[in-house]
Amino acid sequence: MHHTLGAATALPLSSRQWLDDHAPSLERSTRHASALLPLLARAGLLHAEGDLDAAVDAVAEVASASLAAGVVLCAQRGFAEALRLSHNVALCEHLRPEVQDGRLAGALALSGVFGHLAQGTPLPVSGVETPRGWKLSGRLPWVANLQHDGHVVAVPVAFEGLQDFAMVVLGSEESGLARGPEAGAGPRGIRAAALQLDRVHFREDELLHVNGASLVRQLLPTLLALQCGLALGVAQAALSAADNHPAGGMAARRAGAQRLQAALGENRAALGDGLRSGRFIDDAAALLKLRLRFTELAQAAVQAEQQAVGAEAVLAGEDGGCARRAGEARFLSLLSPDAGELASQPAPARRAA
């Protein structure tokens, strides 16, 4: 069985303890949200280079303590991967150091892009050429990791007169770019909100990739794999809590938890095999099925924890985080893309080494 969360391998003990202590706050408020990126950077988790399979374990370890921290890690790693895949070397070299050091938050604003690729639905942001250059307008309903200390966002844009959309990078200081209030969906510590673009001026040096569809398809295996790590972490945390609860030792409950643990191990092994062999690079649909399976297992693990803890303890708020993990499991089911959004999408072209 693939080892996932035995000893802490990605996080120093002090960082793990901080996440354990602040997980409730990160769920309910933004009070400690600004501490997440520096903490993850000190642990060396924000670099896009390296083994994706190991990155899944790192995300799982972080998410087992706090899903909010795991989502921020995924957003930052996803943006760093987009920089790595970009053809704009100057932009990449300018942004990469601050992103990897956690000094600048990175976000992927992919609202609507998977539906556009699968069914041709309009993108939410469009670009219109004016005598003073390109102006971008639209609304992105939900973007995570919009830290108040400054952020950059990768945005798919349908430029007027162009057949394919492009990906551009916009900074939080851009005139005409407005951040809405904190979004209601998900932990508050992920700093998610809507973005409104009102005739934002676009400069050519902000072009991340001229072929946005190609970039998104190259990004997809990384995004789905990291999302698997989120669900894996929540599931492992719930099963560990159930096992450590006095009522978790009942034979029937123990047997059920063991079956869930075995299923997690089998699916984690399948994920690792597919990532290492490169199979999931060409078969995003199979990787999505695994992500959906991990989400189901996380929900089942939370149910097992609830049965061990008992409804009265959950209602009284004396559940050791059980109610929080139930909310985390519900949030996992909202992640994009879903099965319908991946329909009819061709495999991504392999990037030359």
Q: Would you say residue 180 lies in a domain?
A: yes
Q: What is the pLDDT of residue 111?
A: 81
Q: Are residues 32 and 94 in the same domain?
A: yes
Task: Give residue-wise pLDDT tens across range 149-207.
Answer: 899 999 999 999 888 999 999 999 999 999 988 777 789 999 999 999 999 999 999 99
The strand ranges marked E within 49-114 are: 105-108
Write down which residue in 153, 188, 211 finishes a domain: 211
Q: Is the pLDDT of residue 345 over 80?
A: no
Q: Would you say residue 114 lies in a domain?
A: yes
Q: What is the pTM of this model?
A: 0.91
**Is 38:48 a contact under the CB 8 Å cutoff?**
no
Environment class of residue 35 by beta-carbon count within 10 Å: exposed (0-12), middle (13-18) or buried (19+)? Answer: middle
Q: What is the pLDDT of residue 2?
A: 44
Environment class of residue 3 by beta-carbon count within 10 Å: exposed (0-12), middle (13-18) or buried (19+)? Answer: exposed
Helix, strand or coil, per DSSP, at residue 48: coil
Q: Which two structure tokens, joined as six digits, stand for 179?
A: 């951040």
User: Which helix (DSSP H) or strand (DSSP E) does residue 209 occupy?
Assistant: strand 207-209
Under DSSP, the state recorded for 345 is: P
Q: Are residues 205 and 174 in the same domain?
A: yes
Q: Are residues 118 and 74 in the same domain?
A: no
Q: Are residues 334 and 233 in the same domain?
A: yes
Q: How many domains is the chain built from?
A: 3
Task: Give residue-wise pLDDT tens across range 277-301.
Answer: 999 988 999 999 999 999 999 999 9
| 117 or 350: which leads in pLDDT | 117
- Interacting residues of 164 by C-beta distance below 8 A, sequence separation 6+: 211, 212, 213
Beta bridge partners of 153: 107, 170
Write down which residue in 100, 120, 145 finishes a domain: 100
Q: Would you say residue 5 lies in a domain?
A: no
| 62 or 313: which leads in pLDDT | 62
Helix, strand or coil, per DSSP, at residue 346: coil
Task: Give residue-wise pLDDT tens across range 207-245.
Answer: 999 999 999 999 999 999 999 999 999 999 999 988 876
Q: Is the pLDDT of residue 1 over 70?
A: no
Q: Would you say residue 324 lies in a domain?
A: yes
Write down which residue in 211, 244, 273 finishes a domain: 211
Beta bridge partners of 169: 154
d(CA 67, CA 62): 7
Burial 19-31 (b: 16+ CB within 10 A, else e): beebbebbbeebe
Q: What is the pLDDT of residue 5?
A: 41
Q: Would you say residue 162 lies in a domain?
A: yes
| Max intra-chain CA distance, the chain | 74
Q: Are residues 291 and 175 in the same domain?
A: no
Q: Would you say residue 348 lies in a domain?
A: no
Query: 181: domain range?
Result: 106-211
Q: Would you say residue 38 lies in a domain?
A: yes
